[in-house]
Amino acid sequence: MSPAQASALAASPRDGTLEVLRERGQREVFCGLTGIVWLHRKMQDAFFLVVGSRTCAHLLQSAAGVMIFAEPRFATAIIEERDLAGMADCHAELDRVVDRLLARRPEIRTLFLVGSCPSEVIKLDLGNAAQRIGARHLRSETGEGVRILAYSGSGIETTFTEGEDACLTTLVPEMPAEAADAAPSLVMVGALPDIVEDQFLRLFGELGIASVGVLPARRAGALPPVGPNTRYILAQPFLGETARALEDRGAVRIDAPFPFGADGTAAWLAAAAAAFRIDEMHVNRVIAPGRERAKRALERYKPALEGKRITFLPDSQLEIPLARFLATELGMVPVEVGTPYLHRAHLAADLARLPAATRISEGQDVERQLDRVRADRPDLTVCGLGLANPLEAEGLATKWSIELVFSPVHGFDQAGDLAELFARPLRRRDVLRI
């Protein structure tokens, strides 16, 4: 855990009644580099250059699947033997690679240098490199530069979605300061699929919140301003560092459960509206149609999911809000909910709504956790692709977790799709006669 994470945890109110099983051992999780796969789709003029090993490049191509060929805006500068010979050489090499890259891709406005385990261990200072290279790439003739930022997506420091947290944290200092007399504004934090983002922005507009920005913005130049009049609301549960950086700039968090399902989304929107002192009657009027639609969509899946026992293995930090959604809105029974990291303050609203009998675990010793899965024999196990087929072969139905990060699942109009993701493997299990 980074010191920042540790302090965030210490600062959060400790709930004496919440028992959490903490484990250390082999972790079957992605590293933060994987975040690049969806972040680069969101930020249309950004490029992600991983400074790492062949393993890092191999991971990205394995995670990105076929997407890798659609003129991807990410790549790996693979450290070779001769780079390890001396540090000066390493920086010169990085400069050369970045120059070549930017010459080839003049449309790039933000370049992220992404640290990896190898680059962290050899203590290659990417922050410094970003400044040095950034100074050279100021395009004075247009007054426009390539913003070069650095963050770490290494496995030793970040787990899967924490890569997004680390990336967004570097964007916070780049956000313009809000004017001294700025009216209260809202920033929605976390990369969402464009269609979901647009739905939320429409709803905020209908609620009457005048000024709403998103982090990350789709383009580098469109970062929203931030300051003491800024309220921010997290759309994703894995943004502890980003939240801290926003608070350092005076912004204040709106506490809410995460917007999954009909009730989760309604509560999330209502919390935002309450922070802007919007009349409750009006809020209910705006929210009601979407909420009703979502509830109708969920009704279809209730017969398939109600009473079914589900276990989450740690992956993305989405596990607790998703378990809350499945338990409260579809009647599923969470057995164990594992998360790679538990931010108690940000997840307080979701934790409070989880059934009391739920076993919550933080961290992982994969062998012991699998022993528990085999003993529990849940109806559905949410896990990574390295475990899914082997568990199926043992007769356990699984739902592979990475899809929950890549698919549009937030908000009213995705509630049914989200339920479908969990219902489908169970339905398939019933239809197959081989």
Partner 1 sequence: MQLAVWTYEGPPHVGAMRVATAMRGVHYLLHAPQGDTYADLLFTMIERRSARPPVTYTTFQARDLGKDTASLFQNAARDAVERFKPQALLVGASCTAELIQDDPAGLADNMGLPCPVIPLELPSYQRKENWGAAETFYQIVRHLADTSVRPAPREGRRPRVNLLGPAALGFRHRDDVREVRRILDLLGIDVHLVAPLGASPDDIRTIGAADFNIVLYPEIGDEAARWLDKTFAQPAIRTVPIGVGATRAFIAEVAALAGVDPALALDDPSSRMPWWSRSVDSTYLTGKRVFIFGDATHAVAAARIASEELGFTVCGLGCYNREFARDIRGAAKEYGLEPLITDDHLTVEEAIAAAAPELVLGTQMERHIAKRLGVPCAVISAPVHVQDFPARFSPQMGFEGANVIFDTWVHPLVMGLEEHLLTMFRDDFEFSDAAGPSHLHGSAPSHSKAEPVLAPAGDILVREDAAPVAAADGTLGWTNEAERELRKIPFFVRGKAKRNTEKYANEMGLPAITLDTLYEAKAHYAR
Question: Distance between CA atoms of 286 and 78, rounded to whole angstroms?
Answer: 51
Kindly report the backbone phi and psi dihedral angles of residue 61, in degrees, each rounded to the nearest multiple of 5, phi listed first.
Answer: -70, -30
Yes or no: say if 219 and 225 are a contact pair by the CB < 8 Å rule. no
Out of 22, 96, 427, 429, point to the residue binding partner 1 (CB under 8 A): 96
The interface mask with partner 1, positions 156-195, x = CB under 8 A, is: xx-x------------------------------------
Question: Distance between CA atoms of 334 and 58, rounded to whole angstroms?
Answer: 35
Q: How many residues touch partner 1 (CB under 8 A)?
A: 63
Question: Residue 79 or residue 423: which is nearer to partner 1 going by CB?
Answer: 79
Q: Does 389 bind partner 1 (CB under 8 A)?
A: yes
Q: Least distance in Å: CB of 76 to partner 1? A: 5
- DSSP label at 32? G
Question: Distance between CA atoms of 382 and 399, rounded to whole angstroms?
Answer: 5
Q: Least distance in Å: CB of 369 to partner 1? A: 13
CA 26 to chain centre: 22
Q: Least distance in Å: CB of 61 to partner 1? A: 6
Q: Least distance in Å: CB of 30 to partner 1? A: 6
The gap between the terminal CA atoms of the chain, to the nearest Å, is 46
Out of 10, 183, 357, 393, point to the residue binding partner 1 (CB under 8 A): 393
Question: Distance between CA atoms of 125 and 116, rounded to whole angstroms?
Answer: 11
Question: Residue 20 or residue 75: which is nearer to partner 1 going by CB?
Answer: 75
Question: Residue 94 or residue 209: which is nearer to partner 1 going by CB?
Answer: 94
The interface mask with partner 1, positions 321-360, x = CB under 8 A, is: ----------------------------------------
Question: Residue 97 or residue 278: which is nearer to partner 1 going by CB?
Answer: 97
Quick one: which segment of 28-36, 132-140, 181-189, 223-231 binds partner 1 (CB under 8 A)?
Answer: 28-36
The DSSP bridge pattern shows strands 144-145 and 138-139 to be antiparallel
Out of 93, 125, 362, 376, point to the residue binding partner 1 (CB under 8 A): 93
Yes or no: say if 348 and 11 are a contact pair by the CB < 8 Å rule. no
Alpha helical stretches, state H, 360-414: 366-376, 385-393, 402-406
Q: Is 117 annotated as a binding residue?
A: yes
The residues, any chain, with a CB within 8 Å of residue 120's CB and separated by 6 or more, are 152, 154, 156, 157
Quick one: which segment of 152-160, 168-176, 194-202, 280-288 binds partner 1 (CB under 8 A)?
Answer: 152-160
Question: Distance between CA atoms of 354 and 333, rounded to whole angstroms?
Answer: 10
**C-alpha distances out from residue 190 to 138, 139, 166, 268, 340, Å:** 28, 30, 11, 14, 18
Largest CA distance in the chain: 68
Question: Residue 86 or residue 250: which is nearer to partner 1 going by CB?
Answer: 86
User: 117 by DSSP, 3-state: which?
Assistant: helix
Strand partners, 338: 361
Q: Least distance in Å: CB of 246 to partner 1? A: 24
Question: Distance between CA atoms of 25 and 32, rounded to whole angstroms?
Answer: 18
Q: How many residues does the chain have?
A: 434
The interface mask with partner 1, positions 98-127, x = CB under 8 A, is: --xx---------------xx-xxx-----
Question: Residue 97 or residue 252: which is nearer to partner 1 going by CB?
Answer: 97
Yes or no: say if 163 and 112 are a contact pair by the CB < 8 Å rule. no
The interface mask with partner 1, positions 45-84, x = CB under 8 A, is: ------x-xxx-xxx-xxx--x-xx--x-xxxxxxxx-xx
Question: Distance between CA atoms of 37 and 28, rounded to whole angstroms?
Answer: 19
Q: Is 167 annotated as a binding residue?
A: no
* Residue ranges of the binding site for [4Fe-4S] cluster: 31, 56, 117
* Residue ranges of the binding site: 31, 56, 117
**What is the binding site for partner 1 (CB under 8 A)?**
1-2, 25-34, 51, 53-55, 57-59, 61-63, 66, 68-69, 72, 74-81, 83-84, 90, 93-94, 96-97, 100-101, 117-118, 120-122, 154-157, 159, 367, 384-390, 392-393
